[in-house]
Structure 1
Amino acid sequence: MKTVIYKRKRWSVALVVLLVFSLSLMSGCSKQTTDNNSISVESTQLNMVAGTSGGVWYIGMGAIGKLYSDNYPGTTVNLLAGGSSGNPLRLESGETDFSITQHTMAVAAAKGQEPYKKATQNVSSIINLKDITRLNIVVRDDVPIYSIEDILEKKYPLKLAHGPVGTVSEVFGRWAFEEYGVGFKDITSWGGKLFANNYNDVASLFQDGQIDMFFWTGPGEAGFIQETASGTKLRWLPVKEEVINTLAEKYGLNKGTIPAQFYGGAVGTETPCVIDATELIVRKDLQEEIVYNLTKVICENKDDIVLAYSAWNTFDPETAWQDLGLPLHPGAEKYYKEKGWIK
């Protein structure tokens, strides 16, 4: 089965959702490989792992998958759900070909640092999207928590939606809380509860009072937060500077802010947070020509990708090869050199 090909270049939201659905239906197809475990360019099946189903990475990677199949007829693209910390391991094992992760996770995978037990050997980077991915720590306004320190001081029985385990929201949020002395086990020992639901569920759970707080890490403004803010008063908690500095030293995160005007002004004040960027990654042993073509399609169709997911408008093809957490794949390097961006 081939990916559905649409003739129109300008995509509506409904079209992108249909695209993602069509890609996800193909996950049962068998993989065609050559004797050296490389994919045949003439009849390619490209297995992609994104973020949580229906999330922003899922939409963005779906758009990339469509562009690839449009430009290389005969290609079948399978899009699967995943998570930032788990995605490098799925490439390492050969389960998938192309994926997405945070720069911090790429660095950790290359070095074998937490959350990885050892360094990856079969994972390469191709693009740093240079987006600004922010950790949002959001609490309902009627919950008597005004800082992360309050949770520890009050031993508050927090009902926390940290996101699916292994996603960057869960990992970054857990790292930040641990620097304040608040572990997930502490929260449950105080009578709290942890939720790993997809964000499609979080808005309704939050509005119903079943959740007090959630983490979300991503660029721009999330649709589910916009939905939640329309019916529930929210409060964004800051991460103090000394914690940000520690997280930067340990994991490579950086200091940023959540703009006051986000979510129709619901954030209210510039809120200090930790930030990161997004990298696109591939199997190191993926055929060079496929990686060259993939890099070319992404770099030469930025406008279409941004139409599908506007927060990636920071992507600059000329510098996309810089500041990578993992070694640059030779196929991507070939493309950048041909363009004259790598001298």
Structure 2
Amino acid sequence: MKKWLLMACLFGTFTIYGNEKPVKKVHLTFATQEVGTGAYQYASAISNVFLKGLPAGSNIDLTTESPGGVGAPVVLENEQCDIIMSNAGPAKWSEESGILGREATKSNTAIAGGLGNDFVNILFTKEFVDKTGITSMEELIEKKYPVKIAIKKVGTLGNLAGVKLFEAYGLTFDDIKNWGGSVNLLGGDAIKIYLQDGKADMTIDHVAAGQANTTELCMTKEMFFPQLSDEALKKLADNGFDYVEIPANTWSGQKELIKSVGSQQVILVHKNMDNDTAYRLTKALCEGKEELASQLASLSHFNPEKAGTPSQTGVKLHPGAEKYYKENGYLN
């Protein structure tokens, strides 16, 4: 019995009749990307808010071991951290069928989603539109036009957004190649140059307003902004995305509002996290909404009333988080 009590004190957890309650400081690791990235800024701001809900003396270490949204669920599955950020879509796909060639994950649960306002962004060059008369994905597919696509490399959400977009039409990138087109897998800066130089006709990405390469591209090259059909948007929304609007003038030359979809960032924790810690993290995050927004403008879109819904989380909620949302009437 004494040995058991000593272990409980060392790890900051005291168990009474099977109900875990942190009564002392807790130590958590939050895996993110390297210092200077947007992901690191998110994790830093969120950690500061999290700490205010944890017992005195607790700490959260930021580790730069996360590969980003697509691969993050695998890192958490392997218990390389306690907290990680992903996107709702990749979290869902990883659980359903596996991702990046890995087996399906089984241990990811969510604290909150809807952090950010990213969207699937499709751009045609105006030269391409003038040459072909094609102004939509539907026309492109109907004509089986040998389009030249520049898209991000495998392992990025930008690439996966393109894969899922073509899946909504029952196609793959191989179909584009069979039509005589091309799919160039590139970094963000190279994509911009390909489009500027006429080496590519279109691109697909998953970005937020103000993304540097897209902003520069639209300021230096005349682009066209196709609108996806309602049917295509619904298929994407049914497959892990959520509806998002791209306001007019988000990009230079974009005069009309565009209906799109996006997969927002979600905070994941391992299912083995004790309920009280998960509850404290959720409460601190939701009640620290204003502080989050003051640290990063992109976090101003966070809405606690929707943060626990399936479209925002991609995976089921941790029971501790679910308790908080139900107590506040955000879930039935």
With the shorter chain as reference, the TM-score category is: 0.7 to 0.9
Separation of aligned partners in 2, 1:290 and 1:93 = 20
Give the alignment's TM-score, normalised by structure 2.
0.73
**Structure of larger gyration radius:** 2
Could you tell me whether the CA contact under 8 Å between 1:123 and 1:282 is conserved in 2?
A: yes
1:332 aligns with 2:332: no
Q: Offset at 1:127?
A: 0.7
User: Counterparts in 2 of 1:149-168, with a 5 A limit?
Assistant: 149-152=138-141, 153=143, 155-161=145-151, 163-168=152-157
When normalised by structure 1's length, the TM-score is 0.71
Summarize the Cα distance change of 1:88–1:227 in structure 2 as closer, same or farther, 3 Å threshold: same
Matched, 1:48 2:31: yes
1:293 CA displacement = 4.1
- Structure 2: how far apart are the matches of 1:65 and 1:130? 14
Structure 1: gaps of 5 or more residues: 1-32
CA distance in 2, matches of 1:54, 1:208: 30
Going from structure 1 to structure 2, the CA distance change for 1:55 and 1:196 (only over 3 Å counts) comes to farther
- Tell me what 2:75 maps to: 90
Aligned to 2:231: 242
CA distance in 1, matches of 2:226, 2:322: 41
Identify the residue that residue 64 of structure 1 maps to in structure 2: 46
Task: Give, as a single letter, the amino acid of the residue that structure 2 aligns with 1:106.
Answer: A
The farther-off stretch of 169-178 and 180-189 is: 180-189
Unaligned runs of 5+ in 2: 1-9, 14-19
- Computed over aligned residues only, the root mean square deviation of the Cα atoms, in angstroms, reads 3.9
The one of 202, 219, 234 equivalent to 1:213 is: 202
Amino acid paired to 1:99: I
Q: What is the alpha-carbon distance in structure 1 between the residues aligned to residue 282 and residue 272 of structure 2? A: 15
Alignment partner, residue 101 of structure 1: 86
CA distance in 2 between counterparts of 1:272 and 1:318 reads 23
Are residues 273 and 96 of structure 1, via their aligned partners in 2, closer, same or farther at CA, if it must alter by over 3 Å?
Answer: same
User: Do the aligned partners of residues 235 and 330 (structure 1) sit closer, same or farther apart at CA in structure 2, a change above 3 Å counting?
Assistant: same
- The alpha-carbon distance between structure 1 residues 288 and 254, as it changes in their structure 2 partners (threshold 3 A), is closer
What CA deviation, in whole Å up to 9, does each residue of 1:239-285 have, x standing for no partner?
22222233344x14345543222124x22223333344442211112
**Are the structure 2 counterparts of residues 41 and 239 from structure 1 closer, same or farther at C-alpha, using a change threshold of 3 Å?**
farther
Deviation of 1:170 after TM superposition, in Å, equals 1.8
State the SS of the aligned residue for 1:146.
coil
State the match for 1:9 in structure 2. Answer: none
CA shift in 2, pair 1:138/1:108, >3 Å: same
Deviations 1:17-49 (A, max 9, x none): xxxxxxxxxxxxxxxx9699x999747251324
Partner of 2:4: none
Change (3 A) 1:75 1:125: closer
Aligned 8 A contact 1:321 1:328 in 2: yes
Q: Structure 1 342/159 Cα, relative in aligned 2: closer, same or farther at 3 Å?
A: closer
Q: Cα–Cα, structure 1 residues 252 and 335, in superposed 2: closer, same or farther, change >3 Å?
A: closer
1:303 to partner: Cα distance: 2.5
Q: In structure 1, which of residues 284, 303, 317 is the aligned counterpart of residue 271 of structure 2?
A: 284
Q: How does 1:117-266 map to 2 (within 5 A)?
A: 119-129=104-114, 132-144=117-129, 146-152=135-141, 153=143, 155-161=145-151, 163-180=152-169, 182-189=171-178, 190=180, 192-197=182-187, 199=188, 201-249=190-238, 251-264=239-252, 266=253
Aligned equivalents of 2:296, 2:59: Cα separation in 1: 26
1:139/1:59 CA distance change after superposition, 3 Å? farther
Inter-partner Cα distance in structure 1 for 2:281 and 2:193:
38
2:286 to 291, 294, 299: 299
Match of 1:78 among 59, 63, 69: 63
| 1:317 aligned counterpart, secondary structure | coil
In 2, the alpha carbon distance for the partners of 1:148 and 1:339 equals: 42
1:58 Cα deviation from its structure 2 partner: 4.5
Check 1:337–1:252 CA distance in 2 against 1; reply closer, same or farther (3 A cut). closer
